[in-house]
Structure formats: structure tokens, C-alpha cells
Amino acid sequence: MTIEDLNSRIAACQRVHLANLPTPIHKLPSLSAFIGRGPVYMKRDDLTGLALGGNKTRKLEWIMADLIAGGYDTILTWGGWQSNWCRQVAAAAAQLGIEAHLALITQGAHLGNCTANALLDTLLGAHIHVVPADKNGKFFHLEELKAVLEPIVSCLANEGKKVYLVGVGGSMVEGSMKKPLGALAYLHAFMEMHEQLKTMGLDIKHIVVTSGSSSTQAGLLAGAILLNPGIRVTGISVTLPSAPMAGYVKRLTQLLLDDLAYEGRFDDDLVIVDDRFLGKGYGVIDDDTLEVIRLTAKNEGILLDPVYTGKGMRGLIALLKEAPSSQGATLFWHTGGAPALFAYGDELTFADFS
């Protein structure tokens, strides 16, 4: 498919302007030399700009347009206590004059500390609903949080508010979001990268991205299928084991391709998820990830985060080092998250200032 063709297929979908685009693509000379398996580039979606940015800003351009077109005045979503998604929802809502309600789930050591993303949520004027993590700690689907969300929705409805309910990460097609708009945003981002690579005369063989709720990877995979089947897309999971994550990525990719009236099928082998860097689970930092955050900061002046991109970059380094020789050019898709660094101050102290 050509980019013009694809542009006309997505033209019917509306979008509001929230992000500074295109985000730059940088070469990482020191990390490339350190890994020794060919050049490594980075797509800087940490620089999307909306109240410290990140990948959710792109998704919100489409989701907020959907909300406005539907005549809603309030948005309700949920996430972990240090959710980057929730912080970007709060900022987008503030910019567009929409009331934001966030159900924030308290987890582990960072339970309830009003710092980093949680601090910014309140500064941005969002209404916070504190949700104690239950025993199994599941909050991937609306269904799992129904008991918490329904009373909030009915309370807001009683006040005459029209509530747009959207799932964590802006990924799943559930609640008020009837189309895979998060994945669509990342198909659009792939198109942006495709044009940049053409201008730069650069041929990328492999994209590595951190996967949390799966629509970023799904959108990039759809882009590769439609525009450049020579590019492999690997998701480094920071939430789920490989099999369920791959299931979600596959489903969202298919939904998006169906929406675009794409008739071809795609092979299951294209859905690549690696869960070896999950460590002790979502939001739990480990020494190897810490080392990669430090390496990237000291050698490239670029900030990764402990929950997502630190583990993602650790995955990229391991995958390349496992390869016997140069893999051609690799691109790490930086998805943001550095504000969460401030919630991990105790674990992240690198020097004793003596």
C-alpha cells in the first residue's frame, strides 16, 4: 500500500492537535558502539511535549477527537498510581476544557505517594479516585474494575455529566471507545517514521518497543504490514507474559486492519513479544534495568524510565547481543516515562555524593 492510499483510508478519522510532531529520530553512537551489532537509532516519542510527553499523547489526539465528536464533557480512565497514561489524559483534558477523573490503583512501595506522575495529575486538575489494589492486582480490562468504575460513572451522571470511559493505556476497544484509536495513532506514527526514513535515506530492519497495554506495538505492526514488510517489530513486555500479550497485539492489529478495509491476512509469526525482561513484574525495578538506565543517561544524555523504557532498552541490548553479527539498523521507539524516575528516587540513587 502507498502512503497516499493509507492517508485517504484514515482521512475519515478525526484528530485534535496535542503533540509536537514529527518527533526526531536520533542516532545513538555510544550505545551502537557498546552493543557492536550495527547502528541503533531512537524515535523520540518521549518528546511529544504534552506535560512531559510520551506515547499516550499521540493516542489522545484521536481519542479526544472521538470524545468531542460524541458530545462528552468528562473523561474517566484508570491506571497504576504512577501511570503515564493518566498524567497525559489529565493534561489533554486540561488543554481541551474536559473534566478528567482518574481511578489510580495503589501498588507496592509507591502506594499513595503524591510525587512524580501522581503529583502532576493533581497539578493538572484531575479528580483522583484512590483504588486499593486487590489481591490479584488485575486491571487490564474494564470488566476487572467494574465494581470501582460503575459507582463513579453513576455519580457523575447524576451530576449531569456525559462521561467518556476509556481503558488503561487507551488500547482496548471497550467502554466508550468503539474503534482501536490507540493502535490507529501508532499506525499514523509509523507513517511519520516511514517518511522520515525516506528523507534520511535510512533503512531500518528492526523496531524494538516497550509493550504495556499493547496498542503501540499493534499500530507499529500494522504500519509494517501495510507499508514496509521488511521491518520486524518486537515488543518487550513489561506487564504480561508473551502469550497473552501477543494475543492482544494480534487482535488489535487485526481490528485496525479490518477498519481500514485491508483484505490481506497476516502471519502470526509477525507478532513478536519477548517477556524475559519483565523481572519481578510491572513497576518493579531490578538491577539490570537500573544499569541500562544509567548507561543510556551517561553515554547518550537520554532519560529512560524504570517501569517501561528501561526494560525495553534492556531487551534491545540483549536481543542484539544474542545475534551473531550485525543486524542492520535497529530503531528503539522511545515511548517516554521519565517523570516516573522521581517516584523511584530511593532505588535509583547512583552516587553517594561523598
The residues assigned a catalytic role are 83
Minimum distance between the CB of residue 210 and ligand PLP, rounded to whole angstroms?
4
Burial 231-244 (b: 16+ CB within 10 A, else e): bbbbbbbbbbebee
Other CB atoms within 10 A of residue 327 CB: 17
Residue 156 or 248: the one with the smaller Cβ distance to ligand PLP is 248
Residue 319 grid cell: 536481543
Minimum distance between the CB of residue 93 and ligand PLP, rounded to whole angstroms?
17
Indicate if the alpha-carbon torsion angle 207, 208, 210, 215 is positive or negative.
Answer: positive
Residue 60 or 197: the one with the smaller Cβ distance to ligand PLP is 60
Residue 211 or 253: the one with the smaller Cβ distance to ligand PLP is 211
**Which three-class secondary structure state does DSSP give residue 353?**
coil
Give the residue at shortest CB distance from ligand PLP: 337
Minimum distance between the CB of residue 23 and ligand PLP, rounded to whole angstroms?
13
Residue 107 or 214: the one with the smaller Cβ distance to ligand PLP is 214
Residue 193 grid cell: 517514521
Q: Are 96 and 103 in contact (CB under 8 A)?
A: no
Nearest 5°: phi and psi at 244?
-65, -35
Please report, as ranges, the residues that interact with ligand PLP according to CB under 6 A.
54-56, 84-85, 169, 171, 210-217, 305, 308-309, 335-337
Minimum distance between the CB of residue 73 and ligand PLP, rounded to whole angstroms?
25
Peptide bond into 22 cis (omega under 30): yes
Residue 52 or 156: the one with the smaller Cβ distance to ligand PLP is 52
For residues 139 and 228, what is the distance between their CA atoms, to the nearest angstrom?
Answer: 34
Residue 55 or 253: the one with the smaller Cβ distance to ligand PLP is 55
Minimum distance between the CB of residue 140 and ligand PLP, rounded to whole angstroms?
10
Minimum distance between the CB of residue 85 and ligand PLP, rounded to whole angstroms?
5
- Strands of the sheet containing 163-165, edge to edge, are 127-132, 99-106, 74-80, 163-165
Nearest 5°: phi and psi at 226?
-85, -35
For residues 309 and 314, what is the distance between their CA atoms, to the nearest angstrom?
Answer: 8
**Residue written as grid cell 489510580:** 104
Indicate if the alpha-carbon torsion angle 223, 202, 44, 344 is positive or negative.
Answer: positive
Minimum distance between the CB of residue 171 and ligand PLP, rounded to whole angstroms?
6
Give residues with Cβ within 8 angstroms of 86, minimum separation 6. 77, 78, 79, 102, 104, 117, 121, 126
For residues 222 and 203, what is the distance between their CA atoms, to the nearest angstrom?
Answer: 18
Identify which of 202, 210, 147 has the alpha carbon closest to the alpha carbon of residue 329. Answer: 202
Residue 28 or 209: the one with the smaller Cβ distance to ligand PLP is 209
